[in-house]
Amino acid sequence: MIRRLLAAHPLGLSLALVLVVFLVDLSLPLGVASAVPYTFAVLLALSARPGWFGPAVAGLCGVLTIAKMELVPERGSTEMWKVIVNRCLALFAISMTLLLGMLRRQATAERARAEERVAEHQADLAHMGRLSLLGQLAAGLAHELNQPLAAVCLQADIAARLAEPGTPVRQELAGALSEITEQSSRAAEIVRSIRRMARRTDPGCDPIDLNEAVRTVARLLDWHAHRSGVVVELHLANDPVGPTFGDRVQIEQVLFNLIQNAIEAIVERGDGPRTITIDTVDGRDVLIVTVRDTGIGIKNPERVFERFYTTKPSGMGMGLAISRSIIEAHGGTMRAVSVADGAVFSFTLPVARKENP
């Protein structure tokens, strides 16, 4: 309560305090003790915006400290030089408070700027990680888009021929047109997902449908898994899950990275079952996502989240480090476990229910 009051009206309270102290100083022989409450007033004014309030109030305190000597020369039995020394000490205390307060204010502002820069760098790092993932996929995506677009061209050609006058083949025409719609929306969805992931935006904080994020990324990597002979199984919790809040694109980036790594681990293994299982579980306080694969297994589970740790000839070793920092920035945790027939990566995200916001 007092804290809120001090924070709400620092300048008003500081000036009121200066006035009270001055009146008390005029009526009592306080000597150097008058500086103590003046320093509180200076500290209060230093917490106000704009920054010149602090020096202004300190200047006022100094002027009043000297003015008191002229208005009420409370010398009594005290010698003049002692009065002057007392007042000089009071002025010294006020100036030192101002100096230390300004240095502290400057340090706080610098820390806030540094924190802002760190957040900026993290967003940039996440963005670069996404671009690198998309870069690796570019050639495959070109191939993937080629397929629906070729189907669209073919079906459009058939439709155009069927639509020629004198050809009563309505059913085949309808089939060709619906195939065009389906294939072109598939191609458009792939392009949309890539554009969303490639965009550099400030991290959002919106409700995320985790099941939908899993479905989107699984769809985007579907062709990659298919070409590698890998089956992706989704065991999703009943809709709706959560909700959890955060940046959907960044969470999709984490899923993308885990599934991509899982496919690569299975390809590296070569023989044996080729399955990735993705589970979502809606716990009371957290949502849990688990990606399990039947790949080579994790060689060094303690090190996989380290920056630049990689066992792949062309790996960068940044994917999991970025993924974990994204999950931690969302208030969750991430872990990796090597199991008998592969690897299990899991992460949690906090649930924002009404009773535990």
User: What residue ranges bind ligand ADP (CB under 6 A)?
Assistant: 257, 261-262, 265, 293, 295-299, 304, 309-312, 315-321, 343
| Rounded Cα–Cα distance for residues 158 and 56 (Å) | 83
Using alpha carbons, list the distances in angstroms from residue 20 to 6, 15, 105, 131.
17, 9, 26, 63
Q: How far is the CB of 200 from ligand ADP (least distance, A)?
A: 21
CB nearer ligand ADP, residue 261 or residue 348? 261
CB nearer ligand ADP, residue 190 or residue 322? 322
Q: How far is the CB of 257 from ligand ADP (least distance, A)?
A: 6
Q: How far is the CB of 307 from ligand ADP (least distance, A)?
A: 8
| Rounded Cα–Cα distance for residues 346 and 354 (Å) | 25
Q: How far is the CB of 37 from ligand ADP (least distance, A)?
A: 59
- DSSP element (H, E) containing 276: strand 275-282
| Rounded Cα–Cα distance for residues 242 and 330 (Å) | 14
CA trace torsion 330, 248, 226, 262 (10° rounding): -10
Q: How far is the CB of 255 from ligand ADP (least distance, A)?
A: 13
Contact status, residue 255 vs residue 211, Cβ threshold 8 Å: no
How many other CB atoms are found less than 10 A from the CB of residue 196? Answer: 15
| Rounded Cα–Cα distance for residues 135 and 198 (Å) | 10
Which tokens in the block code for residue 104? Answer: 């502290």
Q: How far is the CB of 112 from ligand ADP (least distance, A)?
A: 31
CB nearer ligand ADP, residue 35 or residue 336? 336
Q: How far is the CB of 230 from ligand ADP (least distance, A)?
A: 12
CB nearer ligand ADP, residue 40 or residue 309? 309
| Rounded Cα–Cα distance for residues 245 and 297 (Å) | 32
∠ CA 117-123-124 to the nearest 5 degrees?
85
CB nearer ligand ADP, residue 148 or residue 319? 319
CA trace torsion 267, 268, 273, 277 (10° rounding): -70
Alpha helices (H) in the chain, listed in sequence order? 2-8, 10-27, 35-46, 53-71, 80-162, 170-198, 210-227, 248-269, 319-329
CB nearer ligand ADP, residue 319 or residue 332? 319
CB nearer ligand ADP, residue 105 or residue 269? 269
Q: How far is the CB of 321 from ligand ADP (least distance, A)?
A: 6
